[in-house]
Structure 1
């Protein structure tokens, strides 16, 4: 019963956090803790379930714990190979492959510790599992809440739609990834325009990279105009080089047109939506972030990359916890 009470408490904190501001990573942690304690409560009550139900539940739990990591590592490796074949060997494209190989490496260390009965190796593995357990918990929280955030209802009171740039092909052509954002931005614009009253403005946001012939925002605007979008409703933000600059410079344009606190909907790809929302909150942009579709094979590496960026955004806390766990392992080894 205590676990259920704790789960309800964290669920209440989650609900209050979403009502206050849905763009908070704390909401993801509260939700993860609520689900964790709910699961612990259900496991504690499993002996009260009918014999057949209890036995089936235990088999499922054991299969998930035993085979789940192996299957997940294999899928990550397979996805990593696919990413390299389709997208090239950049460090970002290797993330899912490296994650899968890392998981197999940890499993190998666990087997070695059991076979050799080495106390030192067992302590290293235990410490490593504690650190990875903490990181894995945060990753599951991130993925779960990002999925939920991407399905929250679109706000209906925004006067601006901001589409974030993502690079051009051949110096001036819009690639499929960016085209997906622009089409989603058009959908959001039309949804806001249908409400009546003041017509929204669409901001294409992206500066000119060293290998680009024109600023991204100009190519994005040209893409939309060629497909019938009203040119008079487009504003080009052409100074930014990073996502944070996208936010800051677009905010300046919105405040010049509508004053401080101007409300907007920001459009990016779905794997990037939650981190972009965290960034929008940090730089003071009053906007909800929505995502456009992305190829399924691109998701694992992109999601890992997004999580790493968020993890390091709170590095003081996260690295502090990891360092504490490592020091606990070192202390246990020293006092043996």
Structure 2
């Protein structure tokens, strides 16, 4: 029974962190610990019970996990490769559209190397590095699942209709026009604007985006024209036309809101659903308590976008990841040196 303290404590920690701020990857890590530990203990309890029905139920997740670890990996590779083909055909041959293809090839190579095990042909001193490399791989695998769980949990945040501002995050223009991806963000903000307007005073929409080197006007100007064309009164829009990335979208918009209302206001931001969690992280870094509302994204675009989001989140925390990698590789190299000196 004492073992149940582990999932209980992990659940309490998860709730404490999540309720304080749902925009952190640690929320996904703690949630996964709770689910895994509670699941394992439930299966053990079912097998130790005298109820045949519970034992049958306990076998089902074991079978599902076994299938996922065998057939599921190969199915994932096929899905990623097919998705890459669809994405490239629909969105063009940009490097950012090859991420699912690269991941599919990477997983396939990992499977092949696991079967061949080329490490056994290397000198024994070098083989000592293998556990360190595998630990780093496991570290990023756990981090990936933590990110995905935190992203999933963040989707359940619902903004109240008491906002003073909605920040619409820019994503680039195409031939000085608002492209569909950006239009979805503005439309989501307009939808929220009308829903709040029906119950109280409407929020001010801040259109945030600067001018790119290949653009004749700022994103904010094009976005404002789009919103006004959709029926939003121009006096309920503000242009923020200096930002060049998501962090600056948040930071410069915060300055506008602070200048207008001081520190007493409610705000949210509008972006695509795949971008919600990372945008929330940038809002936290900028000192905003804002949460997001997400516009839907085409299903074929989602896998590639999520890979890009994860890479961006890793880069955001590169110092912490660099320390972990440095410690592991340092210990591995020390093991190689000791093996070499005392062989």
Q: Is 1:111 paired with 2:153?
A: no
**Residues 123 and 145 of structure 1: CA distance in aligned 2, closer, same or farther (over 3 Å):** same
Q: Is 1:68 paired with 2:72?
A: yes
Distance in 1 of aligned mates of 2:117 and 2:140: 22
**Any stretches of 5+ residues in structure 2 without a counterpart?**
none
CA contact (8 A) 2:120 2:127 kept: no
The Cα RMSD (Å) is 2.5
Distance in 2 of aligned mates of 1:322 and 1:115: 20
Please, what TM-score do these two structures have when normalized by structure 2?
0.88
**Residues 29 and 53 of structure 1: CA distance in aligned 2, closer, same or farther (over 3 Å):** closer
Superposed displacement of residue 237, structure 1 = 0.8
**Residues 36 and 311 of structure 1: CA distance in aligned 2, closer, same or farther (over 3 Å):** farther
> Equivalent residue for 1:275?
278
> Equivalent residue for 1:139?
144
Please, what TM-score do these two structures have when normalized by structure 1?
0.90
**Residues 330 and 107 of structure 1: CA distance in aligned 2, closer, same or farther (over 3 Å):** farther
Distance in 1 of aligned mates of 2:338 and 2:119: 24
> Equivalent residue for 1:249?
252
**Residues 59 and 119 of structure 1: CA distance in aligned 2, closer, same or farther (over 3 Å):** farther
> Equivalent residue for 2:231?
228
**Any stretches of 5+ residues in structure 1 without a counterpart?**
none
- With 273-282 and 219-228 compared, the bigger mean Cα shift is at 219-228
- With 133-142 and 112-121 compared, the bigger mean Cα shift is at 112-121
**Aligned residues between the structures:** 334
Superposed displacement of residue 36, structure 1 = 2.7
> Equivalent residue for 1:18?
18
**Residues 299 and 130 of structure 1: CA distance in aligned 2, closer, same or farther (over 3 Å):** same
Find the residue that maps to 1:100 and give its secondary structure. Answer: helix
CA contact (8 A) 2:24 2:150 kept: no
Find the residue that maps to 2:117 and give its secondary structure. Answer: helix
Q: Is 1:211 paired with 2:214?
A: yes
Superposed displacement of residue 24, structure 1 = 2.3
> Equivalent residue for 1:155?
160
CA contact (8 A) 1:3 1:37 kept: no
Q: Is 1:313 paired with 2:316?
A: yes
Superposed displacement of residue 100, structure 1 = 1.1
Find the residue that maps to 2:202 and give its secondary structure. Answer: coil
